[in-house]
């Protein structure tokens, strides 16, 4: 039974398109995150939500918009995709804000923009 799941696993799209990635966790956690991992494996936080409230919003282009319909789901919508958006996007969750050191990651969504 998958703890943190993401869909889709792979996404190939053209520049200028709009796409969404979905994330769900069944761990009962309060806090969820989006990370971007580039080709050099650097994992960088993008957003963090706690109980549907935005907590961390790093310097991310406003083409990226997260949405948390409930505390078990955190989706990422990307407008006007650019070549530089190609990366692996990971969703993660932690029990709460204080438990943020132990984060459970999803399998990742490999986004390729052509």
Partner 1 sequence: QKEVEQDPGPLSVPEGAIVSLNCTYSNSAFQYFMWYRQYSRKGPELLMYTYSSGNKEDGRFTAQVDKSSKYISLFIRDSQPSDSATYLCAMRKAAGNKLTFGGGTRVLVKP
Find out whether 73 and 24 touch, Cβ atoms under 8 Å. yes
By beta-carbon proximity to partner 1, the closer residue of 12 and 15 is 12
By beta-carbon proximity to partner 1, the closer residue of 66 and 106 is 106
Find out whether 18 and 11 touch, Cβ atoms under 8 Å. no
From 11, 20, 4, select the one nearest 88 (Cα to Cα). 11
By beta-carbon proximity to partner 1, the closer residue of 30 and 85 is 30
Buried b (16+ CB within 10 A) or exposed e, 90-99: bbbbbeeeee
**Closest separation in Å from C-beta 16 to partner 1:** 28
101: contact with partner 1 by CB under 8 A: yes
103: contact with partner 1 by CB under 8 A: yes
How many residues are given for the chain? Answer: 114
Task: Specify the 3-state DSSP secondary structure of 62.
Answer: coil
Binding mask 7-26 for partner 1 (x = CB under 8 A): --------------------
Residue ranges in contact with partner 1 by CB under 8 A: 4, 31, 40-45, 48, 55-56, 90, 92, 94, 97-98, 100-108
């Amino acid at each position: 039974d998958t703890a943190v799941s993401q869909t889709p696993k792979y996404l190939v799209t053209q520049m200028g398109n709009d796409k969404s990635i979905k994330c769900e966790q069944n761990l009962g956690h309060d806090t969820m995150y989006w990370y971007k991992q580039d080709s050099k494996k650097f994992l960088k936080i993008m957003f963090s939500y706690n109980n549907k409230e935005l907590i961390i919003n790093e310097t991310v282009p406003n083409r990226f918009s997260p949405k948390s319909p409930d505390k078990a789901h955190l989706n990422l919508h990307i407008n006007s995709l650019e070549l530089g958006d190609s990366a692996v996007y990971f969703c993660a969750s932690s029990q709460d804000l204080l438990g943020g050191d132990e984060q459970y990651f999803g399998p990742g969504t490999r986004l390729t923009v052509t």
